Amino acid sequence: MGLSNSIRERRFKYGEMTQKELAEQVGVSRQTMNAIENNKHAPTIDVAIRIADVFREAVDTVFEYEYDGKPEFLVVCVSFAGDPEQIDADCDDLAASLPSEAL
């Protein structure tokens, strides 16, 4: 349950990069990188993006959030309609397009 990552595996995939080297590229301390890698500290979104960028990977490839063994989905409906009824319709359309496990 919670946030997990594959930072260690990716560091070794990329030429046995040290935590210090990764931390320097990301702009955090080695201690912070150690805590993130060992799931003792959750990174900010900005830091998670910078870590993924170092590996040239998507954030959801490096980090995964699980709850009760099932992936969690966060769905945000953004509508540029000014009419509240149209906004509701747009969000209903979005919900209808999601896989059942996301609902």
In this predicted structure, the answer to whether residue 31 has a pLDDT above a threshold of 80 is: yes
- If phi over 0 gives left and psi between -120 and 50 gives alpha, with beta otherwise, what is residue 31? alpha
Report pTM.
Answer: 0.64
Q: Which two tokens stand for residue 32?
A: 């912070």
Decide which of 2 and 56 is more confident.
Answer: 56
The hierarchical CATH code for the domain 2-64 is 1.10.260.40
Backbone φ and ψ of 67, nearest 5°: -130, 125
Highest mean pLDDT among 38-52, 63-77, 89-103: 38-52
Per-residue model confidence as pLDDT tens digits over 66-92:
766 565 555 666 656 667 777 777 777
What residue spans define the domains of the chain? Answer: 2-64, 73-103
